Structure 1
Amino acid sequence: MEELVFFKGIGSKAKLYTTTEVIAEYTGIKYKSVYESVRNNQDDLKELGVLPFEMVVPQKGTLGGQPKKVYQLNEQQATLLITYLRNTPQVKEFKKALVKAFYSMKQELDQSKLNRELNKRANIELAETIKAEFPDDPHAYSNYHQLAYKCATGMTPKQLKKAKGVNSPEEALDNDQKERLERAKQHIALYLLDGNDYQDIKKKLLADI
């Protein structure tokens, strides 16, 4: 099944939502009916949060060239809206799938928040270690930071941003890569404290890539 739940924002500000397009597609109900259900019950839905929307323009070459308003519903709004729809077997299956999708996405975001916090701590520890070991080298942190990314992803931060089209290299990482990045930074700090130089550390970190 394709993605049912999306998110916007990062960190603690991340908001989960589904759309009226998703609801129409997976319940088998015409989009116009789902849209009208939102319009007819918008006062109820707004009690559960703001009701944002975007105007979606059909892709070139498709039938029906008029833009349409697509609402973005949070978990409570989506759950309430579905109670207003005809309870067909397909709607019931979608209800179950949507509940699981919201739960799974929340778990993923929670893990992502944890990884960010751990990475922040590892970053601080690495920065402090480098500052103590190389007080007069302004490039030391940048060099080891790039090495950590190379170890975790096979690419430097600059290469990651270009490959994924993001502003920050961390935005390009999945949870597994974030965990590897944290471990790489911790290992670099320990290797430095053990007296290893850059080439030794690079060889040890990249041995398995």
Structure 2
Amino acid sequence: MHDSEDLVVVVDGELLTNTETICTGMKAQHASTMKLLRKHLKQLQTFGEVRFEIRLNPQGSDTEYAMLNEQQSALLISLMRNRKEVVSFKVKLIREFFRMRDALGQRDMTLWRQLQVAIAQEVDSAVRASFGSRLMLDRKKDKPILQSEIHRLESEIQPGLLLN
């Protein structure tokens, strides 16, 4: 059985699990799960694009796996039959999605605080530069560093958006 760290991963800022993890945790046949997924693919895709990948399975042959976000995995596991170990795994998977979402939220909040500090330093540097030529030279040196840091933090907070 997978550790909780293996149940959910972060890919491009999105929390995902895969059909291999679900099948292992639920002691289900992967082929049956993929058949169920394909049967309900349209409904699953209402929660976003289902990503497919082909990897070698433990026996060495190509196998198709699906990467699922939280809503997609919740829908898929709700369609599977409830046996004792299945219900137990459903609880673990849902709990892990919540834990990972909280952890990402804390990370984003820390980035937000760092961005606020960098912006405050930029403003302070601009104000000090207005007081004299020596301070203006310091600002000229500090400005690219501060702007680079602000841009880096903005892109980490909102990787899909161009803020400048």
- Tell me the TM-score normalized by structure 1: 0.58
Tell me which amino acid in the other structure corresponds to 1:111: Q
Q: Given the alignment, which residue of 119, 122, 129 partners 2:117?
A: 122
Structure 1 unaligned segments of length 5 or more: list them: 145-167, 172-209
Q: Deviations over 1:101-141 (max 9, x none)?
A: 11111111222221111111101112333452632034446
CA distance in 2: counterparts of 1:86 and 1:4, whole angstroms = 20
When the two chains are superposed, the root-mean-square deviation of aligned CA atoms in Å is 3.0
- Find the counterpart in structure 2 of residue 186 from structure 1: none
Q: Aligned pair count?
A: 143
- Find the counterpart in structure 2 of residue 34 from structure 1: 33
Q: Deviations over 1:184-204 (max 9, x none)?
A: xxxxxxxxxxxxxxxxxxxxx
Tell me which amino acid in the other structure corresponds to 2:91: K
- TM-aligned CA distance change 1:83 to 1:141, over 3 Å: same
Tell me which amino acid in the other structure corresponds to 1:48: F
CA distance in 1: counterparts of 2:56 and 2:116, whole angstroms = 44
- Find the counterpart in structure 1 of residue 21 from structure 2: 22
Tell me which amino acid in the other structure corresponds to 2:107: S
CA distance in 2: counterparts of 1:135 and 1:26, whole angstroms = 61
Secondary structure in 1 matching 2:67: strand
Matches within 5 A, 1:1-209: 1=3, 2-9=5-12, 14-58=13-57, 63-131=58-126, 132=128, 134-137=135-138, 138-140=140-142
Tell me which amino acid in the other structure corresponds to 2:73: A
- TM-aligned CA distance change 1:128 to 1:47, over 3 Å: closer
- TM-aligned CA distance change 1:170 to 1:27, over 3 Å: farther
Structure 2 unaligned segments of length 5 or more: list them: 130-134, 147-151, 156-164
Q: What is the deviation of 1:86? A: 2.2
Does the CA-based 8 Å contact 2:115-2:153 persist in structure 1?
A: no
Q: Deviations over 1:32-59 (max 9, x none)?
A: 222222122212222332211222235x
- TM-aligned CA distance change 1:53 to 1:115, over 3 Å: same
- TM-aligned CA distance change 1:39 to 1:120, over 3 Å: same
CA distance in 1: counterparts of 2:109 and 2:92, whole angstroms = 26
- Find the counterpart in structure 2 of residue 197 from structure 1: none
Q: Deviations over 1:140-179 (max 9, x none)?
A: 46889xxxxxxxxxxxxxxxxxxxxxxx7999xxxxxxxx
- TM-aligned CA distance change 1:16 to 1:44, over 3 Å: same
- TM-aligned CA distance change 1:124 to 1:169, over 3 Å: closer
CA distance in 2: counterparts of 1:30 and 1:90, whole angstroms = 14
Identical counterparts, % of pairs: 26
Higher strand share: 2
Q: What is the deviation of 1:27? A: 1.0
CA distance in 1: counterparts of 2:59 and 2:43, whole angstroms = 31
CA distance in 2: counterparts of 1:64 and 1:169, whole angstroms = 44
- Tell me the TM-score normalized by structure 2: 0.72
Tell me which amino acid in the other structure corresponds to 1:42: L
